[in-house]
Amino acid sequence: MAKGFFGKSIMTWYRKLIRNSKYRWVILFGTLVYLVSPLDISPDVFPVVGWIDDGLVATLAITEITQILLDRKRNLRQAEKFTTQAPVADRSETVIDVESVAVL
């Protein structure tokens, strides 16, 4: 029971960090360093056992990156659908006046 909870908590922690745009590149870089580094939870010297943790980390990273890209694509489609459905008259009614001052 504790092992399942521990695994799920790590996955949840990783998912929250990678979906936060502020930390995304740091987490991806750290994941890449972990995969390349010879220092692992289980060293790669042991043929099969050493590759399991790398495989799990790589799978988790690829899954989250794919999900982020799919969410972004879905959001772009919804935004495109919203803008193509809006009548032309509604677009012309929205006017934003901006006063600007040149600072030298």
Per-residue model confidence as pLDDT tens digits over 34-51? 888 878 777 777 778 878
Indicate whether 98 belongs to any domain.
Answer: no
Q: What stretches of 1-104 show up as alpha helix (H) in DSSP?
A: 2-19, 24-36, 49-85, 88-93
97 versus 54: the higher-pLDDT residue is: 54
Indicate whether 102 belongs to any domain.
Answer: no
Global pTM value:
0.60
Q: Is the model's pLDDT at 68 over the cut of 50?
A: yes
Residue ranges making up the domain that contains 19: 2-87
Indicate whether 97 belongs to any domain.
Answer: no
63-68 average pLDDT score: 88
Domain count of the chain? Answer: 1
Indicate whether 22 belongs to any domain.
Answer: yes
Indicate whether 18 belongs to any domain.
Answer: yes
Indicate whether 25 belongs to any domain.
Answer: yes
Residue 39 zone, left/alpha/beta (φ > 0; ψ -120 to 50; rest): beta
Indicate whether 63 belongs to any domain.
Answer: yes
5 versus 31: the higher-pLDDT residue is: 31
